[in-house]
């Protein structure tokens, strides 16, 4: 599975890469080189980042599922205890 960026996301990423090089490296990087670098990173480490994100989401969902019984638990066989509370002894 390859990671695809929308046109807007790609443009923002390229602008960010170019800015990073301009501010932190001794040489500038052009738009074509920035695009090649972005494509390399998406292909080379994109799947790793994606898999880690999926694993984190799975972990969070499993934690929520474990809490589900606490959130929606209903006591069983409560008719008679409720009736005992509702009926007050006559005097």
The residue-averaged pLDDT of 29-39 equals: 96
Dist. CA 16–CA 23, nearest whole Å? 10
Residue 82 inside a domain? The answer is no
Domain that holds residue 47: 7-71
Residue 86 inside a domain? The answer is no
Residue 66 inside a domain? The answer is yes
Other CB atoms within a 10 A radius of the CB of residue 1 amount to 6
Q: Supply the pLDDT for residue 19.
A: 96
Residue 11 inside a domain? The answer is yes
Number of compact structural domains in the chain: 1
pTM, entire model:
0.68
Q: Write out pLDDT tens, residues 4-22.
A: 999 999 999 999 999 999 9
Q: Supply the pLDDT for residue 89.
A: 65
Dist. CA 39–CA 50, nearest whole Å? 15
């Amino acid at each position: 599975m390859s990671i695809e960026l929308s046109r807007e996301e790609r443009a923002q990423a390229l602008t960010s890469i170019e800015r990073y090089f301009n501010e932190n490296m001794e040489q500038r990087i052009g738009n074509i080189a920035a695009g090649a670098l972005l494509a390399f990173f998406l292909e080379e480490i994109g799947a790793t980042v994606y898999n880690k994100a999926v694993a984190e989401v799975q972990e969070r969902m499993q934690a929520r599922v474990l809490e589900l019984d606490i959130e929606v638990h209903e006591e069983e066989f409560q008719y008679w205890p409720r009736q005992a509370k509702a009926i007050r002894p006559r005097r």
